[in-house]
Amino acid sequence: MTEQTLAERAVWRDTERCYRAVAARDSRFDGQFIMAVATTGIYCRPSCPASTPKQQNVRFYPTSAAAQANGFRACRRCLPDAVPGSPDWDIRADLAARAMRLISDGTVERDGVPGLARRLGYSERQLGRVLTAELGAGPLALARAHRAHSARLLIEMSGLPLTDVAFAAGFSSVRQFNETIREVFATTPSQLRAASLRRRKAEELPTGTRLSLRLPFRKPFDAHGVLDFLADQAVAGVEHVTRDESGVTGYGRTLRLAHGPGVVWLTAKDDHVRCDLRLTDLRDLSSAVARVRRLLDLDADPEAVARVLGADPALAPLVEAIPGIRVPGAVDGDELVLRALLSPAEAASLADELGERLPRCDESLDGLTTLFPTAAQVAEHGPERVAAVARALAGGVAVHVGRDPVELRAELLAVPGIGPGTADYVLMRVLGAPDVLLTGDPALRRGAAALGITDDEPTLAERGRAWQPWSSYAGMYLWRAEKGE
């Protein structure tokens, strides 16, 4: 399936389908499109509990920014931005999708639109034209919507003074902050906080740079599988895991962020993931949340995956037994490349030797003491086997979510020590590429054999064509089969 075909099939373009989802209040479509009501001037998530508007009064948009650009404000009842992100950004690798990933990571706040365009390899004019055509808004409007969402989180989930919230969310002035909140939410920052305090009653708001957030996901969500995968490869000090008789109960790790290190602790709940954050600087909030969401693949569309993979007789029993499987992502591209070349024990030794030590965390985040070393540090002091790769990373091979997968793969393969399997693994985890089948991985092949999928006829690669565009998820099922699950 080509990128153009995927763009043409974007859900928001099918107005009849969108309206049926709104009429059914179908939460599976939350985050996939925005519904705006012309008679009220409000935009909502598809599952908003308010009365369903008449079809002739409804407009559909791909993003909140597009709705805002057309004069609509956010519904305060359904909070349309507090939903999983669009799975389009997982499937597509075109310019619009790559730009959205970087905007979510806070690139515009840190580097401006020129920096965003530079990282994507386009001129500002080209970038603006494509984003407006595809997403209904240019990069500044998209970043503004992202700042408004970050600001609402800080207003409602922290006790930070509102002036500090303005700059932490990425606004250049308090006046710009106040105007944006009024335009997007039709209320003032102080009124938003007062309403939040009434809802939370006597619950104490966290202060300073500690936050506790609820990260939504599309059900079903195989929390056990993704946390277990991360736990199996955990590096002591950089990551920490808690377990009980049922398996992994919590996972935490350190984060290297633009304005200083951070620490995150994740606990899966029935309808959300609890995310406890400790940041050096709250300006890194949106970046930290975006990276955690990618790490757990929270924006995936599990029903779309199940429809394709469940049609394969060999995979169908596993798809039914393990609904909502996810492909673990990564919080740092360079780190993922280096760790892909090392065993967990070797990675732990490297981190212990070269990693930056953090001040002791509070008790709830204990065990997280070290940042994984940068590519530059490994290039200078690491073992030669990975130092050569680290020199390439430090010298210009940029591994981040805004990269074109074809171009990144070619650059990785040009680095001595990186083979096709490693390059594909990086695309799958760093870029979230959904259609990567690691046919050379021994564990994956053993899992295929356990399901009766062999290299007789057809070959594994040929069998995998039926799994497109979800081959990465099929690979996760094969890994689980190898473990006997």
Residue numbers annotated as active site:
44, 441
- Beta-strand runs (E) in 49-123: 58-61, 73-74
Spatial neighbors of 466 by CB under 8 A, at least 6 apart, are 308, 311, 312
Contact 386, 394 (CB under 8 A): no
What are 214's strand-pairing partners?
A: 274
Q: How far apart are CA 34 and CA 55, in angstroms?
A: 14
Which residue type sits at 326?
A: R
Burial level of 455, CB count in 10 A (0-12/13-18/19+)? Answer: middle
Contact 330, 475 (CB under 8 A): no
Q: Strand 356-357 relative to strand 370-371: parallel, antiparallel, unpaired?
A: antiparallel
Which residue type sits at 332?
A: D
Q: How far apart are CA 294 and CA 328, in angstroms?
A: 7
How many of the other CB atoms lie within 10 Å of CB of 345?
A: 10
Spatial neighbors of 479 by CB under 8 A, at least 6 apart, are 229, 443, 444, 447
Handedness of CA 378, 382, 385, 387 (dihedral sign): positive
